[in-house]
Structure 1
Amino acid sequence: MPRGGPVWHRGRVRYVIIGAGAVGGTIGGLLAEAGRKVVLVARGAHLDAMRDAGLHLTTPAGARVVRAATAAGPEDVDLRAGDVLVLAVKGQDTAATTAQWAGRPVAGGRTAGEDLLLVCAQNGVDNERTALRRFARVAGMCVWLPATFLEPGRVSAAGSPVTGVLTMGSYPVGEPDPDLAAVSADLEAVGFRAPVVRDVMAWKYAKLLSNLGNAVEALCGPVREPAAKELLSATVAEAREVLAAAGIEPTSPEEEAAARGDFTLVELPGVTRLGGSSWQSLVRGAGSIEAAYLNGEIVLLGRLHGVATPLNAALLRLAEAAAAAGEQPGGHDAAEILGAARAAA
C-alpha cells in the first residue's frame, strides 16, 4: 500500500504520478499540496528521501515540504475507478513502464489498461503510440515546465507567473476524453495553464523541435556561443524539412507564443538551475538519455521519407555514447560536430 499522504483530500480524481522526478514531482507535489489525492511513484534514493522527509519543492512561491503517499511501483498501489495515471518517465522507459502498469487490477474486476486514463507528460511524440498498445485511454501532454531534479527528495520549478503550461488532448486525434476536463481544472487550480485541445500531437511536434537542442546543450554546454547556435539552428532546419516531407504540421511559433503568453523563467533563491532534461541525465550519470526519442525521431522520419538527417543522427550517436560512458555535460565542440556531420553528408 502507498505510504504517507496528506491529512485531507478533496475531489474524486486520484493522481498516480509514475516517475515523480523533476516534472512528475512538481505536478504531483503541487496537486498534493492543494489537497488533491496523489501517489508519487519513484525509486531508489529519491523514493527513500520522500518517504523519510517528504518532497522538498521550490517554486517562485517559496521552498516547502509536501507530504504525499508514495509507492515503489504498481505492486504498491491498489488502483480504483477514476484514478488518472500520469506518466512522467523518460521516453526510453515508456514501453517497459506501461507494460508494468497495464495489467494491474482495478477495483471492480478490470485492469488499468482497460479502464484508466493514462496521460503522457513526456517529451517526444512516440510515447502515446507506445502506450496505446496496452492502454485503451491515452492522452498526450505537451509539457512546458522548467523543472529541475536537484537531489534525491528535492525538485524545483522556475516558471512564472504560472508554474508551467501543460497542453493536453486525447490520442489519437478526436474528442477529448471526458476525464480531461477534470484534470485540466485541477491543474489550473494549483497554478498551471492546462488547456485541452483536439490535436495535442501538433503541439508535441512543435515542442519536439525545441527539444532537439537538448542534445546540443548536453554535449556542448549552454547554447550561447555562435557555433552552438549555428548547430542548433541547422539541426532544427533539418527537422523541419523532415516533418514537411512526412506531412506533419506542428503548431506554429505564433500559436505557441500565444499559449505561453507571459510565462517565463525566474531565478529561485538558493537554487542553481541546471540544463534541460538531457543535461540532467548526464549530470546524474543515469546511463541513458532521451535522444533516441527526440533527435532519433527525426532520424527515423527522415529515413522513412527519404530525407537525409546527418546532424540529428550525429547528435543522437554522440549523446548516447556520452551517456553510456558516464560523461559530464559540455565535453564536445559544436563546430566540430557541425563540420563532421556536413562532411559526412
Structure 2
Amino acid sequence: MRIGVIGAGAIGGTIAALLDRAGHEVAVTARGEHLAAIREHGLQLDGGWGAHTAHPAAAAETLTTAPELAFVCTKAQDAEAAITENAALLQGITVVIVQNGLTGLHDAMRLLPHSHCVGALALYAASFLSPGRVTVTTAANTYLGAGSGDAPRVAVDAARILNSAMPAFAIPNFTGAQWTKLIVNQINAMPAITGLSVQETLSDPALRRIVTASMQEATRIGLARGVHYGSIQGLDDRILRFLARAPRWAAQAVPLLMRRRMGATPNPGSTLQSIRRGQLSEIDFLNGAVVAEARAIGRPAPINAMLTALVHEVEVRGAFLPPATVADRLRPLLD
C-alpha cells in the first residue's frame, strides 16, 4: 500500500520505518539535516521494536506521490501548514492525525473536508536526537478513533493496516482518551525546563510535587469540562478522579506509577527533544491547552500557565533552569 508520513521525526519516523519493514511503499516529509540523512543513508530505526533501515521517498514539504493512506505526525504548531501543503494529495483518502493536544483532529477536518480524518494517540516513546536516526525507548500501543462514541469504520481500517507494523487499535471515546493523553503529557514540561529525563524529574521529590500539582490541576479542568477520561497507559477515569480529589502526598502515586511503566531507558520527552534541536516546542498544545480549556470555562490554571511560561523562557534563553530554581518559582502556587 502507498502510505505517506508527513513529518518523519520521532513518532512519524517510527511509523514510517515500521510500515516500510512490513512491506508498504512509504513516502515521508522531513527537514534539513534529517532529510539529507534519510536521502543519503536511509531512515534508521532501533530500540524497542528492533532495528531496521528504511529507504522511503523523502521530500522537504510535499509528499512525492499520492498516498492511499496518510499519517500527519508533525508537531502540533506545524500541522496546519503541512496539511495545507499536501491537501491536494490527501483528498478523498483516510488521513490519520498523530498529534498531542486536543485540537489537531478538529483542525484537520476543517482543512480537509473531503477526506476521512481520524485521530491517533501514539503512546510509545521515541527519541530523534541525530539526523536520520530514531530510537524507540518505550514500546507501547497506538490508539485510533474520533469523537466520544464508537470508533468509525475508517479508524478501524487504518488501525488494522498500522497494526501490521506495530501495535495499533481502534477505540471508542477517543475524545476521552485525548484528555487522558493530555494528562500523561504533563510529564513533558519539567524535562524541557531542567534538561533532565522524565525519570529523573519524577524521582526528584520537589519536581515530582510540581508535576503532581500540574496533573491535578489539568484533571480537574477536564472534569469541569464534562470529560469522561479514556483508559490508556495505565490511567483511566477512576484513577484520574482519584488524582483530582486526593491530597497531593497521595496523588503522587500516579506519576510514580507512570515512572515505573517507563522502564530504565532515559526518556527525554518530546518537548525536551525539540529544545535540544533548537526548535520551538509544542508546549502551547500541552500545558498551554490546559490553560486554554480553563479559560473557556472562566477558571484559572496557574500551575500549567507557569510551566508553559518556563518552557518558553528556556527556549528564549537557550539554557535550562536548575531544579532548585524551578521549585522556588513554583512554590507560591503550590502552598
| TM-score, normalised relative to structure 2 | 0.83
Provide the rounded CA distance (Å) in 2 between the counterparts of 1:189 and 1:61. 13
2:223 aligned with 1:211, yes or no?
no
Summarize deviations over 1:291-335 as a string: whole Å, max 9, x none: 100111110111111222110000111112211333347677331
2:1 aligned with 1:22, yes or no?
no
Q: 2:107 pairs with 130, 133, 140, which one?
A: 130
**AA at the equivalent of 1:38:** V
Provide the rounded CA distance (Å) in 2 between the counterparts of 1:254 and 1:218. 22
Q: Which moved more, 1:131-140 or 1:205-214?
A: 131-140
Contact 1:56 1:155 in 2 (8 A): yes
Change (3 A) 1:313 1:266: closer
Provide the rounded CA distance (Å) in 1 between the counterparts of 2:74 and 2:321. 21
Change (3 A) 1:273 1:64: farther
Q: Which runs of 5+ in 2 are unaligned?
A: 237-259
What is the total number of aligned residue pairs between the two structures? 306
Provide the rounded CA distance (Å) in 2 between the counterparts of 1:99 and 1:131. 9
Summarize deviations over 1:218-244 as a string: whole Å, max 9, x none: 113331211101000000111111112
1:150 Cα offset (Å): 2.5
Q: 1:101 pairs with 78, 86, 92, which one?
A: 86
Runs of 4+ in structure 1 over 4 Å off? 252-257, 263-267, 328-332
Equivalent residue, structure 2, for 1:237: 216
Q: 1:71 pairs with 54, 59, 66, which one?
A: 59
Change (3 A) 1:324 1:194: same
Q: 2:172 pairs with 198, 215, 219, which one?
A: 198
Q: Alignment partner of 1:247: what SS?
A: coil
**AA at the equivalent of 1:127:** G
Equivalent residue, structure 2, for 1:182: 157
Contact 2:45 2:53 in 1 (8 A): yes
Q: Sequence identity, in percent? A: 29
Provide the rounded CA distance (Å) in 1 between the counterparts of 2:142 and 2:74. 16
| TM-score, normalised relative to structure 1 | 0.81
Provide the rounded CA distance (Å) in 1 between the counterparts of 2:215 and 2:261. 22
1:214-225 counterparts in 2 under 5 A?
214-220=188-194, 221=196, 222-223=200-201, 224-225=203-204
Q: Alignment partner of 2:176: what SS?
A: helix
Equivalent residue, structure 1, for 2:269: 276
Provide the rounded CA distance (Å) in 2 between the counterparts of 1:149 and 1:273. 13
**AA at the equivalent of 2:74:** V
Provide the rounded CA distance (Å) in 2 between the counterparts of 1:212 and 1:96. 26
Provide the rounded CA distance (Å) in 2 between the counterparts of 1:175 and 1:225. 40
Provide the rounded CA distance (Å) in 2 between the counterparts of 1:329 and 1:51. 37
Q: Alignment partner of 2:145: what SS?
A: strand
Equivalent residue, structure 1, for 2:28: 40
Provide the rounded CA distance (Å) in 2 between the counterparts of 1:60 and 1:24. 15
1:177 Cα offset (Å): 4.2
**AA at the equivalent of 2:72:** L
Q: Which runs of 5+ in 1 are unaligned?
A: 1-12, 107-111, 258-262
